[in-house]
Amino acid sequence: MEPDDRIKAQLMTERDLGRTLDRMAQQIIELTDPDVEEAGDAFALVGMQTRGVYLARRLADRIRTQEDIDLPVGVLDVTMYRDDVRLRLNQPQIRETRIPVDLTGRHVVLVDDVAYTGRTARSALDALMDLGRPASVRFLVIVDRGHRELPIASDIVGRRVPTLPGEEVRVRLREIDDREGVWLVETPHPRGQSTETD
Amino acid sequence: MASDAQDTPSSLPHRHLLDLSDYSAGDIRLILDTAREFRSVLDRPIKKVPTLQGTTVANMFFEPSTRTKLSFGLAAGRLSAETISFSKSGSSVKKGETLRDTAENILAMKCDMVVIRHSSPGAPHYLSRVTDAVLVNAGDGAHAHPTQALLDVLTMSEHIDTFDGLHVSIIGDITHSRVARSNIQALRTLGAEVTLCGPRTMIPPQIEHLGVHVTHHLDEALDRSDIVMALRIQLERQDEGLFPSLREYHDRFGITTEHMEAHPDLLVMHPGPVNRGVELAHDVVDHERAIILSQVTNGVAVRMAVLYLLAPGRQTDAAE
């Protein structure tokens, strides 16, 4: 949580988040049918930096435990593809992109924590197309908070939460945060319409 | 090389890259971390990203250069920036136009960034004071060549775990070398030990003040080195009496296959272009522990990182 955040509501507890990920893992498994045996060759999870990466890894772990399917997990940073680089005084830090398999012909599940304006997702689609030519891309998010600026839909959603522009959604994960869960917060310095919450 | 995230800033707190004197270890690590990600772009089938679409970079080369100019041009192109190119030969500089007037005319064409190579030390500093553009020094006289030093440390980082306690020797004409000067700054900032080695005529007096060790014996330098960097002997300096002959220079300061065998972990670098048989024996240039071509590839990645991190924005973060 940021220092200036005023918590308005907790949207998910740690337990809720766990249950949501269990359900999402099942939805991904349903996508892979009927050729479950070859799913590892036909599908891939791609987590968007930063929290999408941990969520994608957790989903892959669940799918492995539940169905013994080993799905490759890629890491994608979309900073190079963002459309707001020229609007910023300081350039955002570029983080790792690592896709361990050829995406061409694969069904990709793109994983992020929050869907908001759609601009980050658009950047991710541009990046994926430069890295290969996936057979399909589905968009998975823990929270879809609305306010799209582009015609981009989420396919697998933990929870749809109508929000106000001054509010932000914080997904916090124990791997990198000091707490676990999802919160709706009001912040005195909203990042505006051109960037998503993460 | 793993970077220490605690000391690495999330963005570069500088407007220009004139030399590395005011760049901290964290700043350098940010550039290297960013360059590593751009390096992976160079290995993709599509080697171009839209990052700097709408940015115009002027490559102003007042001095002959092949690889640095190509490298900056390619770096800007890989980031989708537009470039205009200027060479001194055949330009209005020949007609007596001043550096400032040339720069202002080019900037009047609405360039955002200027990459400048000039034979006068301080030319990029001067331009940074009289123009609004972001300046990147691509070599100014014998003063500085910061992107060369950054690509050198990036290349080293691919082979080592940490710069702390790393020993690097720089061999050759230190006096006239902007590469040596910038490398000393970068390596010392990152915590490496530096030894300078060359004929007495080619080592500036009292350069130990920069925190380096000096020797005039190649074997002594190599004995203490993990990495050796040979500098190009400028053949035109043969007439200045700095060394008796190319053959004698090679005999005393050239790195040979015997040296490579005697030091089985030693890596060899060279900023290029190599005078085969002078700084490096012919076979050493092609040796598996010569990482000269990696330096060239990393040059594009480092310049992409520098252009990206310094590219000017239109408004402040606070206004977003």
Domain of residue B212, residue span:
159-290
Residue B54's CB is within 10 A of a number of other CB atoms, namely 13
Evaluate whether the domain defined by A14-162 bears CATH number 3.30.43.10.
no
Closest CA to B135 of B155, B113, B153, B119: B113
pLDDT digits (tens, 9 = 90+) for A117-157: 999 999 999 999 999 999 999 999 999 999 999 999 999 99
Express each pLDDT in B295-304 by its tens digit: 999 999 999 9
> Mean pLDDT throughout B122-127?
94
Q: Which pLDDT score, from 0 to 100, does residue A192 have?
A: 47
Of B66 and B139, more confident: B139
Give the count of Cβ contacts less than 8 A between chain A and B.
Answer: 73
The answer to whether A130 contacts chain B (CB < 8 Å) is yes
- In SS3 terms, B61-117 reads as ECCCCCHHHHHHHHHHHHCCCEEEEEECCCCHHHHCCCHHHHHHHHHCCCCCEEEEE
The residue type of A171 is V
Q: What is the pLDDT of residue A191?
A: 59
The pTM for the full model equals: 0.91
Q: Mean pLDDT over residues B54-72, rounded? A: 93
What is the band of A20 on the pLDDT scale with cuts at 50, 70, 90?
A: very high
**Residues B209, B126 share a domain:** no
Say what the pLDDT of residue A38 is.
Answer: 83
Residues B103 and B133 both lie in one domain: yes
B67 is in an annotated binding site: yes
Partner residue facing A89 (CB), from B49, B53, B313: B313
Integer-rounded Cα Rg, in Å, for chain B is: 20
| Angle, alpha carbons A45-A48-A53 (nearest 5°) | 65
Do both B130 and B19 map to the same domain? yes
Output the CA angle A97-A172-A84, nearest 5 degrees. 50
Question: B318: pLDDT confidence band, cut at 50, 70 and 90?
Answer: very low
For chain B, the residue count is 320
| Choice between A97 and A198, residue whose per-residue pLDDT is larger | A97
**Residues B18, B51 share a domain:** yes
Q: Does residue B297 have a cis peptide bond before it, meaning omega lies within 30 degrees of 0?
A: no
pLDDT tens digit string along B242-254? Answer: 777 889 999 999 9
Kindly tell me if the per-residue pLDDT of B15 is higher than 60: yes
What is the Cα–Cα distance from B17 to B44, expressed in whole angstroms?
28
pLDDT the model gives residue B89: 67
Residues B24 and B92 reside in one and the same domain: yes
- Residue B66: the pLDDT is 87
Q: Would you say residue B44 has pLDDT above 60?
A: yes
How many domains are contained in chain B?
Answer: 2
DSSP state of B173: -
**What proportion of chain A, given as a percentage, has pLDDT over 90?**
79
> What pLDDT, in 10s, does the model give residues B148-195?
999 999 999 999 999 999 999 999 999 999 999 999 999 999 999 999
Distances in whole angstroms, Cα of residue B308 to Cα of each of A119, A138, A177, B220: 20, 30, 29, 41
Contacts of A92 in chain B (CB under 8 A): 10-11
pLDDT confidence tier of residue B91, bands split at 50, 70 and 90: low
Q: Give the model's pLDDT for residue A34.
A: 62
Query: Confidence band (pLDDT; 50, 70, 90) for B317?
Result: very low
For residue B194, the surrounding DSSP H or E stretch is strand B193-197
DSSP letter for each residue of B6-50 = GG--SS---S-BS-STT--HHHHHHHHHHHHHHHHHHTSSS----
| Secondary structure class of B161 (helix, strand, coil) | coil
Report the residue of A78, A85, A176 to disrupt the B interface, i.e. the one with the largest count of B CBs within 10 Å: A85
Residues B103 and B192 in one domain: no
How close, in Å, is residue B313 to chain A by CA atoms?
A: 4
- Cβ distance B271 to B152 under 8 Å? yes
**Bridge partners (DSSP) listed for residue B210:** none
Are the CB atoms for A52 and A173 separated by under 8 Å? no
Contact A89 B37 (CB under 8 A): no
Angstrom distance (rounded) from CA B141 to CA B185: 16
**Interface contact B49-A81, CB threshold 8 A:** yes
Domain ranges of chain A: 14-162
pLDDT category, B108, cuts 50, 70, 90?
A: confident
Q: Do B301 and B285 lie in a common domain?
A: no
Residue B223 lies in a domain: yes
Instruction: Tell me how far apart the alpha carbons of residues A112 and A144 are, in angstroms, rounded to a whole number.
Output: 10
CATH number at residue B37: 3.40.50.1370
The pLDDT > 90 percentage for chain B reads: 78
